[in-house]
């Protein structure tokens, strides 16, 4: 059995509860998190991609479990549009474009209420090499 040291006993109507250091630290962290204002830890960054590459816009916030709004050129992205994948994991929020096309170039914004971050996607077109051969008849 694990050796656990209890640092505090709390009296309740149901009896005495022993509190471990880990439980106390978790409770203190939750209380501190409630007082941390919502802000960006890492905002969006500009991206460059070639046609058909995958692009990811990623930001990290001070709070997990939020539901951001994503925009392209100031217009909300449709969640029904299968061209975009949105991943929210803990305090990380991500927009993925699996196969970039030239029309994807523009400004992408993530909004959390009044707070927002914007980045630009630059798209380089594919290089098409045209080869011509001169055939001469002899």
Read off the CATH number of the domain in which 95 is found.
2.60.40.10
Residue 1 lies in a domain: no
First vs last C-alpha separation in the chain: 94
Structure tokens at 112: 């959390």
Question: Average of pLDDT values for 54-79?
Answer: 95
Rounded to whole angstroms, how far apart are CA atoms 70 and 136? 58
- Residue 13's pLDDT band (cuts 50, 70, 90): low
Q: Which residue has the higher pLDDT, 116 or 29?
A: 116
Residue 76 lies in a domain: yes
pLDDT value for 30: 55
**Together in a domain, 17 and 74:** no
Return mean pLDDT, the chain.
80
**Together in a domain, 48 and 83:** yes
**Which residue range is the domain that position 54 belongs to?**
40-124
**Together in a domain, 58 and 24:** no
Helix (H) or strand (E) holding 25: helix 21-35
**Together in a domain, 19 and 83:** no
**Together in a domain, 99 and 53:** yes
Residue 96 lies in a domain: yes
**Together in a domain, 51 and 89:** yes
**Together in a domain, 23 and 72:** no
Q: Is 117 helix (H, G, I), strand (E, B) or coil?
A: strand
Read off the pTM.
0.68
In the chain, pLDDT over 90 holds for what percent of residues? 59
**Together in a domain, 57 and 108:** yes
Residue 136 lies in a domain: no
pLDDT value for 25: 52
Residue 133 lies in a domain: no
Structure tokens at 52: 């058909």
- For 71-88, the pLDDT digits (tens) are 999 999 987 888 899 999
Residue 20 lies in a domain: yes
Structure tokens at 46: 């500009």
């Amino acid at each position: 059995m694990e050796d656990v040291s209890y640092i505090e006993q709390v009296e309740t109507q149901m009896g005495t509860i022993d509190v471990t250091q880990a439980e106390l630290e978790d409770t203190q962290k939750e209380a501190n998190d409630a007082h941390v204002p919502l802000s960006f830890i890492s905002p969006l960054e500009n991206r460059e991609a070639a046609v058909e590459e995958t692009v990811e816009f990623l930001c990290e916030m001070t709070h997990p479990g939020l539901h951001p709004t994503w925009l392209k050129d100031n217009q909300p992205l449709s969640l029904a549009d299968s061209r975009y994948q949105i991943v929210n994991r803990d305090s990380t929020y991500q927009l993925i474009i699996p196969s970039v096309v030239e029309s994807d170039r523009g400004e992408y914004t993530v909004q959390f209420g009044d707070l927002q971050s914007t980045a630009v996607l630059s798209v380089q077109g594919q290089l098409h090499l045209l080869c011509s051969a001169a055939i001469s008849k002899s």
